[in-house]
Amino acid sequence: MSHKLALKIWEKCVDAVKAANDSLDIPFYSDRNSWDTFVSNINDVLNPLDLEFAHLLDEISGKELYALVNRKDDDVAQMATDYSPIEIAYFKAVVEQIMLAPNESFCVSSLVAMREVNSLKSNMTKAQAEIVLGSFVAKGWLMKSKRGRYSLSTRTLLELQPYLRSTYPDEILECTICLEMVTRGVACYTPQCKARLHNHCYASYRRGKRNCPTCDENWSVEANTKKLKPVGEAAFKEGQDQGRRRVRRKATDSDEENSQEDEDARMIMTK
């Protein structure tokens, strides 16, 4: 839900409690500090239940969104899902190809997504995979663009961020402004510059400054004709889906002993 809706629900809850017992004095303030304190108090209560009322800015709209997120990592939590183990394995395989997509495009074609069936040790058919992919999109775990390309949704970024960060540390991009993950946005055109910004963070930043926040390159149109590089589907180049299947670097034996990959995967679609 949006921050605006969450704030309104909080207000209505306070009104309902007061209507039931007018002797109660429950304050409601719509300012940011009061809201942040309220959310912090909620999470203190939810923490023993391994739940979190988490928030993230939507990469496309820039709107602040909230969700009740399951942070539990045991077999019971893994079973609390509409998806079978093989469907979760398929989801992980598609996510891997999205995270490893070249040119910081963070998206794959339907052909690549369907091809991941071959990497599974199962008898899932491509027809079945197509149905499951549609379910991932319908339930908000993946996004499908008008071009038919799959990318990570806000829900996946919000709920599975610990898993993504631990599994793909070398592929994670962080916004130079808000420090959250970036899979859609812009990048500085200066070679070796690490500046990556969400589009909404870039728009906000440019209202006050014209230089790159990392390398100090002048980004003003008047200074040069260079354009910032895209991050996300706009960075996709024709033909990059072809060729060998991309596989992340395999961990060493010692790494595997300490790896949290299987444990972190418990959060996938476990609400």
Give me the average pLDDT of each 10-residue run along the chain (271 residues): 94 93 88 94 94 93 91 58 86 94 94 90 88 94 94 92 90 95 95 94 88 91 74 89 69 43 48 49
Q: Are 70 and 50 in contact (CB under 8 A)?
A: yes
* 47, 213, 228 from 225: Cα distances, Å: 51, 19, 10
CATH 3.90.1150 fits 3-72, yes or no: yes
- What residue ranges do the domains of the chain occupy? 3-72, 77-171+236-242, 185-231
Q: How many residues does the chain have?
A: 271
Rounded to whole angstroms, how far apart are CA atoms 173 and 183?
A: 7
pLDDT at 77: 55
3-state secondary structure of 54: strand
**Count of CB atoms within 10 A of residue 95's CB?**
25
Rounded to whole angstroms, how far apart are CA atoms 68 and 9?
A: 14
pLDDT at 199: 94
Take residue 246 and report the two structure tokens written for it: 């991309």
Q: Are 180 and 174 in contact (CB under 8 A)?
A: yes
- CATH fold for the domain made of 77-171+236-242: Arc Repressor Mutant, subunit A (1.10.10)
pLDDT at 255: 44
Take residue 116 and report the two structure tokens written for it: 């991941």
Give the global pTM: 0.82
Q: Are 110 and 133 in contact (CB under 8 A)?
A: yes
Rounded to whole angstroms, how far apart are CA atoms 270 and 174?
A: 26
Rounded to whole angstroms, how far apart are CA atoms 35 and 25?
A: 17
Identify how many contiguous H helices and E strands the chain contains and give both numbers: 11, 8
